[in-house]
Chains A and B, each alone.
Chain A
Amino acid sequence: MTESPPDTAPLDLDAALAGSQVEEILATLDRELVGLVPVKTRIREIAALLLVEKLRAAAGLSAGQPSLHMSFTGNPGTGKTTVAMRMAEILHRLGYVRKGHLVAVTRDDLVGQFIGHTAPKTKEVLKRAMGGVLFIDEAYFLYRPENERDYGQEAIEILLQVMEDQRDDLVVILAGYRDRMDRFFGSNPGMRSRIAHHVDFPDYSPPELESIAGLMLEAMQYRLSAPAEAAFAEYIERRRAQPNFANARSIRNALDRVRLRQANRLFERRGVPLTREDLMTIEAEDILASRIFTEPVEGEPRGDDGATEGST
């Protein structure tokens, strides 16, 4: 390294940051994703590391290509897929993946039905993900210890090989529930050691869920009246206590049903002219009509509020 600049030559971190436009994505991440402080901190750290790594490379220092495979653990609806998409964008801006697209798959896309079916299937998915990010949702389903002839193991082996050999070509993100992912890594030490970043997604608190609902309503151009806001806070409280609560996803589904009831309410008062205001406003009665309010809080959910939401 005879050409490397002297150790004291200043390198401009700000310029590098501005040039990569990463700050912009991080800001949108902050704006559009409520809560998730540990996740955001971690992503900032990863972005900082990658940026510093680029500067080091420019200064003639090399530590090798950093391993970027990640695992996202957390309950359903905590924003794993959304963050993965942003991650793909950040890695693309920093030049660590060439195309920056996200290919989201589950076990069914990787594992075949019969002998000899798995390898081509897994390879096809890997080929599609090249240059971008491969997001494997509920990755623990790949490994089924109860069936020793399960083809999932074959898919894992192909994945491991590509994760090791073609680190420059794609980044793999595994996602799933925390405890099941822990068990998955426990029985696949090779996988655990190839993943550098384990990011845990916490559940949302009730105020966070409320602001998520606010953002969603804003995007859909609705607004809650003051009594409706109070009713929705109550709704969140009750819904959280129920089984199958899926954080932001449950909120989205609840809002969809509220819109349904609002439309029905407007439809029933035909004859009275509607204003723009009427079309936008959600009243308390739209929310209070939910079954959640008529059932005891501890009870098993029935009907459309809750039971239909799987843990996908």
Chain B
Amino acid sequence: MRLTQGTFSFLPELSDEQIGAQVEYCLTRGWALSIEVTDDPHPRNTYWEMYGEPMFDLHDAAGVLMELASARATFPDHYIRINAFDSTQGWETVRLSFIVNRPAEEPGFELIRQEVEGRHLRYTLRSYATSRPEGERYP
């Protein structure tokens, strides 16, 4: 099951050239870019791990692509996303965030139904991948 999180997630995978163009757009708006990785695809897992430091004062997308290449080499089977943070007053938030790398196999999620008092149901979403420990989830 293909994970759809963040911007462009319903589009086909972006090529490096397209990623570069998006990064270029972010840089022209003065946003700081950062790269994050995770192997826990749960939609409520919002805090992924930083890969390197956020990149400030960049002028060209080549810098981000260089960092992305090294992130992909380190974590080929993890989810990797690029975030663009807008520090201008009134925003101070992530303005764009999109997935740029994903594991070859995505097992998807299990819907757990828990029956409670009466005939009420409680729902839980659980990723099949997270049954294994961190770092071994996508062999």
Within the complex, the shortest CB–CB distance from B72 to chain A, in Å, comes to: 15
A131 at the interface (CB under 8 A from B): yes
A127 at the interface (CB under 8 A from B): yes
Task: Choose among B53, B59, B62, B66 the residue that contacts A101 (Cβ–Cβ < 8 A).
Answer: B59
B26 at the interface (CB under 8 A from A): no
Within the complex, the shortest CB–CB distance from B40 to chain A, in Å, comes to: 25
Interface string of B3-23 (1 = CB under 8 A from A): 000000000000000000000
Interface string of B53-76 (1 = CB under 8 A from A): 101011111111011000000000
Contact B57 A130 (CB under 8 A): no
Contact A127 B66 (CB under 8 A): yes
Task: Choose among B52, B53, B61, B63 the residue that contacts A128 (Cβ–Cβ < 8 A).
Answer: B63
Contact A166 B60 (CB under 8 A): no
A128 to B61, CA, bound (A): 10
- Tell me which residues across on chain B come within 8 A of A169, comparing CB atoms: 60, 62, 66
A268 to B42, CA, bound (A): 77
A124 at the interface (CB under 8 A from B): yes
A124 to B52, CA, bound (A): 10
- Tell me which residues across on chain A come within 8 A of B64, comparing CB atoms: 127
Interface string of A67-81 (1 = CB under 8 A from B): 000000000000000
A128 to B63, CA, bound (A): 7
A98 to B61, CA, bound (A): 10
Q: How many B residues, CB 8 Å from partner?
A: 13
Q: A120-B52, A124-B53 are in contact. Are A132 and B60 (CB under 8 A)?
A: yes
A124 to B55, CA, bound (A): 8
A130 to B63, CA, bound (A): 6
By size class, the interface of chain A is: 10 to 19
- Tell me which residues across on chain A come within 8 A of B62, comparing CB atoms: 98, 130-131, 166, 169-170
A99 at the interface (CB under 8 A from B): yes
A120 to B59, CA, bound (A): 18
A26 to B112, CA, bound (A): 72
A292 at the interface (CB under 8 A from B): no
- Which A residue sits closest to B67, measured CB to CB? A127
Within the complex, the shortest CB–CB distance from B83 to chain A, in Å, comes to: 16
A166 to B62, CA, bound (A): 9
Task: Choose among A120, A124, A130 the residue that contacts B60 (Cβ–Cβ < 8 A).
Answer: A130
A131 to B24, CA, bound (A): 11
**Chain A residues numbered 98-156 whose CB sits less than 8 Å from any CB in chain B:** 98-99, 101, 120, 123-124, 126-132
- A-B pairs, top 8 by smallest CB distance, nearest first, are A131-B60, A127-B63, A130-B62, A130-B63, A169-B62, A130-B60, A99-B59, A131-B59
Q: What are 29 A-B contacts defined by CB distance under 8 Å?
A: A98-B60, A98-B62, A101-B59, A120-B52, A120-B53, A123-B52, A123-B66, A124-B55, A126-B63, A126-B66, A127-B63, A127-B67, A128-B57, A128-B58, A128-B59, A128-B63, A130-B58, A130-B60, A130-B62, A130-B63, A130-B66, A131-B60, A131-B62, A131-B63, A166-B66, A169-B60, A169-B62, A169-B66, A170-B62
